[in-house]
Amino acid sequence: MKTTWHKGIITWREQDCLCMSVPFTWLLPQARAFALSHPADRVIAGGPAVRLMPDYAREWAEIETIEPLSPPLRRANQQASRTTFGCPNRCEFCGARTIEGEYRELADFEPAPIICDSNFLACSDEHFNRVIDRLKQADFEQVDFNQGFDASLLTQRRTNRLAELPIRPRFAWDTAADETTVMAAVERMETTGVRCRSSDATNTASAHAHIYVLVGWRETPDEAMYRMEALRAARLCGVAMRYQPLNALKRNAYCPTQWSERELRDFCRYWNRLRWFNGFTFEQYREGVPREGQSRLFA
């Protein structure tokens, strides 16, 4: 599936107002500068970042005082939609409850090939089956549950239904304690006929299932490395998701004491560009040492 995401601040005019949706808190200084550069306009600000840091935004904009005619999510990607809001979990590192409020299902949703629910599997069986049925009727070439599945909620019955869709699974592996749950969910998908693993053990970046691994939070570098290597050994694609504080005004500025800044940066860069570096170990990548018969990694 070819998708185009607008990853920056989205701006548009509506009801004689200058509206903006800010997805990440580290874009708030840029949003502030943009708002102050339009002193004659009534500026309305919303989006995940504004909901996380409303006091910061309230100094230079009104906070979501109008209902947009077109959902900002569709402005970010025309192929994206959602069927629920919120998440019943209370993970310390996640802002879903603050951004989206209490968990709720949408009785009327627009089917789309990209579903951006924060925790789709937390929904009722009635809602789950309604979503699957409507996505099947839409007959998309591929369906992407973009935020990933909560592996602890993936039952065999729901796996069977998901297998009716052309999906590429995504899961979250937030802590070391989730290993058994995540691996069992992958195995359940595979045995139901949903391809997850790479057929090429030397190129796990091509795996059909992506596993989001939270790093730079409370784990040690060795613990993070264990998770990524375990996924590579299982022929799965691990994506290193660097932890960002919920009030971060600069991306990647936070580094926990158990990591060095360079170590954390190199770790994420290596694992998230594995298509380039898959023939090298992490140690070889950091040293720039080639394998026999290959050129150096860096000039």
pLDDT, one tens digit per residue, over 103-151 is 999 999 999 999 999 999 999 999 999 999 999 999 999 999 998 899 9
**Residue 294 predicted with pLDDT over 60:** no
Q: Averaged over 77-105, what is the pLDDT?
A: 95
Range picked from 1-15, 61-75, 200-214, 236-250 for highest mean pLDDT = 236-250
Indicate whether 293 pLDDT > 70: no
Q: What pLDDT shows up at residue 299?
A: 42
Listed in order, the ranges of the chain carrying CATH 3.20.20.70 are: 72-244
The pLDDT of residue 3 = 61
Taking the C-alpha atoms of residue 146 and residue 21, their distance in angstroms, rounded to an integer, is 19
Helices 221-233, 261-272: inter-axial angle, 10-degree rounding: 10
Whether the predicted pLDDT of 295 surpasses 60: no
Write out the two tokens for 182.
């995540």
pLDDT band (50, 70, 90) for residue 2: low
Residue 35 sits at φ, ψ, to 5 deg, of -65, -45
Residue indicated by tokens 């789950």: 128
Percent of the chain with pLDDT over 90: 80
Give the position of tokens 């989001």.
212
The domain defined by 72-244 folds into: TIM Barrel (3.20.20)
| Mean pLDDT, the chain, integer | 92
Sheet containing 144-145, strands listed edge to edge, beginning at the edge strand earlier in sequence: 80-81, 114-115, 144-145
pLDDT tens readout for residues 173-194: 999 999 999 999 999 999 999 9
3-state secondary structure of 172: strand
**146-178: pLDDT as tens digits:** 988 999 999 999 999 999 999 989 999 999 999
CA dist 231 → 159, 215, 216 (Å): 21, 14, 18
Cβ atoms of residues 114 and 92 within 8 Å: no
CA-CA-CA-CA torsion sign (273, 279, 283, 284): negative
Q: Band of the pLDDT at 1, cuts 50, 70, 90?
A: low
**Rounded-to-10 torsion of CA 147, 149, 153, 156:** 150
**What is the band of 292 on the pLDDT scale with cuts at 50, 70, 90?**
very low
Q: How confident is the model at residue 288 (pLDDT cuts 50, 70, 90)?
A: confident
